[in-house]
Structures are given as structure tokens and as C-alpha cells.
């Protein structure tokens, strides 16, 4: 079967057919990114769910004092690596590089966080996100205590859990529906030291 550039297996509605709030979302994406992420196009198959998903996504990506935008993107790539979600690895690997201001560090975290030279806080966050993804039945209160020890509040720990859970959901949706990353994500600056 030939794969479309977007990759998804379901028909996407024409943008002109979408509710006004989603047309505005697409326009804002074009304005800020220069393109509309394929995830928006594919999730538009069920417009009301795209609206709910995106609202949740935005809430979870709001940085706090001890859980930065980079930390939140780091959780996304750790979960996505465990699950093997190409769309999220490429898209959120790019977002992580932007948040860190360092493409090399972002690639190291994306490909193998254990070899990325992370500080204790980030390593604990990655370890927990990986465990929650690969072995959720083994999660216990000691894991949460470990996150408290590195300075996370209970609200931020909740965010770590919820971000990891949301990316497990999103990864499965992306893989089951055939998402491919936009070419623009691949063209993001990959020059040395970026």
C-alpha cells in the first residue's frame, strides 16, 4: 500500500469544513510554525475530539517552577521512544531541541536519555516516565518519593504522570492511524551545536 505524505489511514476533512475554532487553530499553527502539524489534520477526522485533545495538551505543556517546557518535552520523547512512535519522536524531538536550545542534547535525550548526561532531577523524571510506559503495574509510592527528593511538588509529579499517560495515548493513536511527521520537522535546524 502506498503511503500518503501525511501517512494517516483515515480521510481528513477539508479544512473549510471544520468548525471555526479548529480553522483558527490551523491558522495559528501556520502563523507560528509555518505549517499545520499532521496530527491536527488526522485528529480533525473527529473534530470535537481534536478540540478536547488540544485543550488537554496545552494545559499539560504549561511550564511550572520545577517542571520546565524542556522537562515536559523530555517526557514526551522518553515515552515515545519506549513505544516506538516515529511521529512523536520527530515532532517532540524538534520541540525539545527548541526548548533546550541545543539540538545535540535533545537528540541524545530522544535516542537514549541514560547516555545524555542528565542531572539527577531529569534522570529521575525520565526513569519514571519510562517505567510508567513500559511497566505501569510496578509503579509504587517509592517512585513518587524519588521525584519529591529532586524538588518536584505533588502537583508537578501529577503532571509527570499525566504527561506520560497522555503521550502513551497519543502514541497509540498516531501509530494506529498511520501518522507520519511533517517534513518541516525533519528540516528543523540540525547544524552542529544547535
Percent of the residues in the chain that have a pLDDT greater than 90, as a whole number: 84
Residue 101's pLDDT is 97
Percent of the residues in the chain that have a pLDDT greater than 70, as a whole number: 93
Fold of 69-177: AhpD-like (1.20.1290)
Domain ranges of the chain: 15-60, 69-177
Tell me the pLDDT tens digit for each residue of 140-179.
999 999 999 999 999 999 999 999 999 999 999 999 999 8
Distance separating alpha carbons of residues 171 and 159, to the nearest angstrom: 18
The domain 15-60: what is its CATH number?
Answer: 1.20.5.810
Segment 39-43 long-range contacts (CB within 8 Å, at least 24 positions apart): 39/87, 39/91, 39/170, 39/174, 39/179, 41/6, 41/8, 41/12, 42/6, 42/8, 42/10, 42/12, 42/177, 42/179, 43/173
Residue 73's pLDDT is 99
pTM of the model as a whole:
0.91
Give the confidence band of 71 by pLDDT, cuts at 50, 70, 90.
very high
Pick the more confident residue, 129 or 33: 129
Give the confidence band of 3 by pLDDT, cuts at 50, 70, 90.
very low
Tell me the pLDDT tens digit for each residue of 93-129.
999 999 999 999 999 999 999 999 999 999 999 999 9
Amino acid at each position: 500500500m502506498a503511503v500518503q505524505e501525511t501517512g494517516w489511514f483515515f480521510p481528513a476533512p477539508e479544512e473549510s469544513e471544520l468548525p471555526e475554532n479548529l480553522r483558527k487553530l490551523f491558522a495559528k499553527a501556520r502563523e507560528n510554525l509555518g505549517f499545520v502539524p499532521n496530527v491536527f489534520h488526522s485528529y480533525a477526522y473527529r473534530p470535537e475530539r481534536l478540540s478536547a485533545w488540544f485543550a488537554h495538551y496545552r494545559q499539560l505543556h504549561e511550564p511550572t517552577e520545577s517542571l520546565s517546557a524542556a522537562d515536559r518535552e523530555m517526557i514526551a520523547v522518553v515515552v515515545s521512544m519506549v513505544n516506538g512512535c516515529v511521529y512523536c519522536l520527530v515532532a517532540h524531538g524538534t520541540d525539545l531541541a527548541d526548548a533546550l536550545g541545543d539540538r545535540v542534547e535533545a537528540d541524545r535525550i530522544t535516542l537514549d536519555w541514560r547516555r545524555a548526561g542528565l542531572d539527577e532531577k531529569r534522570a529521575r523524571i525520565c526513569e519514571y516516565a519510562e517505567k510508567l510506559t513500559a511497566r505501569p503495574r510496578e509503579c509504587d509510592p517509592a517512585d513518587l518519593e524519588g521525584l519529591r527528593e529532586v524538588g518536584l511538588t505533588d502537583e508537578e509529579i501529577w503532571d509527570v504522570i499525566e504527561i506520560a499517560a497522555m503521550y502513551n495515548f497519543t502514541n497509540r493513536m498516531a501509530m494506529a492511524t498511520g501518522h507520519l511527521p511533517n517534513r518541516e520537522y525533519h528540516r528543523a535546524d540540525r547544524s552542529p551545536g544547535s
